[in-house]
Each structure stands twice: as structure tokens, then as C-alpha cells.
């Protein structure tokens, strides 16, 4: 199969397109012929070597945590899916930017999502749901999402609204405020003066906070919420542990993926794609992702 690989840790220019061995699913797994894969922060952090002590890789490595495509091989014990089905989901920490990908968690792709949208849904939706679930019932509450324009943040906005939250206030740069409004959020800028801006936007206070940005603002977010247990972070694990907030990790959970797919089928969650790159331009996609401040997801079309 064709795949993007890196043979040593380094910059985006270390990525090459070459032939790699075909993977095959084990028990409880499926293989998909990949239509598109998403680019997540963990991808370029693994490629650069920044996470080598936490996730040591056997090089060469294939970046990519999640993707979407058509099922073409099914492992032992798998039920509820057939060859030819369109699915999206999660595999290991690497492997998605290739023609073939092993998934250990998946859901059927809603008919109204194209391949790029399905590719952008896996890790973003699971991460958003885990963070929101940590905050308890959302019904009628005012939620602040820090970094609301990114892949996880934009998913969290739509999913929270679908789950009955009262109001979502989202932080983002001014260029993304119209985008947040289109999602159903009340936009504001991040950084100094946030508490004062929120006093105007939410005069009765913010009930709960989800941090998706790891921008160094977690201390301020706890102060705004008034209690670390009213704050969850999916991005600043060290800060969350220091302050006593909820810390949520993504997990390969087909139940959460199916819940995201159900919302997608209802038109209540649509993965937002900032830009799609062909596989041959994966270095450009990684460089784009590393610059940050994206509006939705960056995906690779295989």
C-alpha cells in the first residue's frame, strides 16, 4: 500500500510517500480502504519526537490517528459491519495516512457526511464527548468552550447544543467569530480581560468550562468557573492535574462514535473542515496544523 511515513523524528519535510506493508485486522478489528484521514496535534508531535518518551515508535512510522473509508477486511468476532460499508473511526496512535487502516473502534458514516467530514469526526467527537461528559448534565447550563473554533472545540459546541446546554460561549480569534456564530455559539476573544467580557455576555455567570486549547489559560478558567470541578480540560493534562480539574482523554470507544454518527444523521453535528490536502502534500498539511488556530479540521485525502 502507499503511505506517508517518516524514518526519523523531525520536521514536516521528513515525511515521504512510499510503499509500506499491508496491515491485516486482528480479532475485534476491521480494515478500511482509506478515503481520507485527519490531522491532529498528536500526529505532528509524534513525528517531531516531542512525545517519544510517552509513545515510543518503531520507525518508520505512519502518522494519523483516525480516518474514514470503506470496509474491505473484517477480523474474527466482529459483528454489525460488512465488506463495503462506509465507516469512520480510530485505530492506534499511528497508521491512518495510508491506503489501508486498521480500526479498533468505528461507526457507520452518516449518509449526509462526505469522506472528508467523516475523517474529521473520529478523534474530535470522542475527545469532545469525553470532556463534556466529565462536566455532568449540560441541560440549561452556560458552557464556556476555550478554543471553540478548532476541531475539538467546534465539535464540542455542536454536541453540547444537541445535548441541551442552555448557552455556549466560545473563545476564538476575531477572524473566527462569524464561524462560531454559525455553530450556535456566542463568540468572544480569548486572553486578558476574558472575565470582564464574560460578565457582559453571561451576567449570571458561567456554570461549566471546557478547555480544548492548552493556551496556558487554565488558572483563569478555574477562577472564572469558581471551582476546578466545574472545569474539564482535554488539552492541558499537567495543568488540570495541578489545579484539580477534570482531565479527559480520548478513548477508542465505538459507543461514542455511534452517538456522534447519530447526531450527524440528525443534522445536529457536522464536522467542519478547514482544508483538505492530497496525500502528496501531507508535509504542507502538517505544517498548517503546527501553525495552529485552525477553523475545524485539516484532512488528508488518500
pTM: 0.95
C-alpha cell at 193: 480581560
Predicted pLDDT of residue 139: 96
Predicted pLDDT of residue 55: 82
**DSSP code at position 127:** H
Predicted pLDDT of residue 17: 98
- pLDDT tens string, the chain, 302 residues long: the values are 999 999 999 999 999 999 999 999 999 999 999 999 999 998 989 898 888 888 888 899 999 999 999 999 999 999 999 999 999 999 999 999 999 999 999 999 999 999 999 999 999 999 999 999 999 999 999 999 999 999 999 999 999 999 999 999 999 999 999 999 999 999 999 999 999 999 999 999 999 999 999 888 999 999 999 999 999 999 999 999 999 999 999 999 999 999 999 999 999 999 999 999 999 999 999 999 988 778 899 999 99
**Residue written as cell 470582564?**
196
Rounded Cα gap, residues 234 and 128, in angstroms: 8
Helices (H), the chain: 41-48, 115-119, 122-134, 151-162, 177-183, 194-201, 218-225, 237-243, 254-265, 282-291
C-alpha cell at 190: 480569548
**Could you tell me where the beta strands, DSSP code E, fall in 49-97?**
66-74, 86-90
Predicted pLDDT of residue 95: 96
C-alpha cell at 235: 488539552
**DSSP code at position 175:** G
Predicted pLDDT of residue 56: 87
Amino acid at each position: 500500500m502507499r503511505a506517508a511515513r517518516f524514518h526519523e523524528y523531525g520536521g514536516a519535510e521528513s515525511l515521504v510517500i512510499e510503499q509500506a506493508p499491508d496491515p491485516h485486522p486482528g480479532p475485534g478489528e476491521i480494515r478500511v480502504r482509506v478515503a481520507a484521514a485527519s490531522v491532529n496535534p498528536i500526529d505532528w508531535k509524534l513525528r517531531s519526537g516531542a512525545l517519544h518518551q510517552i509513545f515510543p515508535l518503531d520507525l518508520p512510522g505512519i502518522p494519523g490517528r483516525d480516518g474514514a473509508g470503506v470496509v474491505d477486511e473484517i477480523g474474527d468476532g466482529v459483528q454489525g459491519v460488512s465488506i463495503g460499508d462506509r465507516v469512520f473511526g480510530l485505530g492506534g496512535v499511528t497508521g491512518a495516512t495510508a491506503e489501508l487502516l486498521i480500526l479498533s473502534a468505528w461507526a457507520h458514516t452518516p449518509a449526509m457526511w462526505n469522506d472528508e467530514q467523516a475523517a474529521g469526526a473520529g478523534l474530535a467527537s470522542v475527545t469532545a464527548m469525553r470532556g463534556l461528559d466529565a462536566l455532568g448534565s449540560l441541560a440549561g447550563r452556560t458552557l464556556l468552550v476555550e478554543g471553540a473554533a478548532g476541531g475539538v472545540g467546534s465539535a464540542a459546541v455542536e454536541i453540547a447544543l444537541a445535548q441541551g446546554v442552555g448557552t455556549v460561549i466560545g473563545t476564538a480569534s476575531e477572524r473566527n467569530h462569524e464561524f462560531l456564530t454559525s455553530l450556535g455559539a456566542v463568540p468572544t476573544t480569548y486572553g486578558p480581560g476574558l472575565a470582564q467580557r464574560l460578565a457582559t455576555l453571561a451576567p449570571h455567570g458561567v456554570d461549566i468550562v471546557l478547555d480544548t486549547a492548552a493556551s496556558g489559560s487554565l488558572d483563569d478558567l478555574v477562577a472564572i468557573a469558581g471551582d476546578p470541578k466545574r472545569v474539564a480540560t482535554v488539552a492541558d493534562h499537567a495543568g488540570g492535574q495541578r489545579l484539580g480539574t477534570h482531565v479527559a482523554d480520548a478513548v477508542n470507544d465505538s459507543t461514542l462514535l455511534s452517538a456522534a454518527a447519530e447526531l450527524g444523521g440528525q443534522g445536529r453535528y457536522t464536522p467542519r473542515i478547514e482544508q483538505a490536502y492530497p496525500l502528496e502534500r501531507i508535509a504542507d498539511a502538517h505544517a498548517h496544523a503546527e501553525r495552529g488556530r485552525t477553523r475545524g479540521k485539516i484532512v488528508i485525502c488518500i
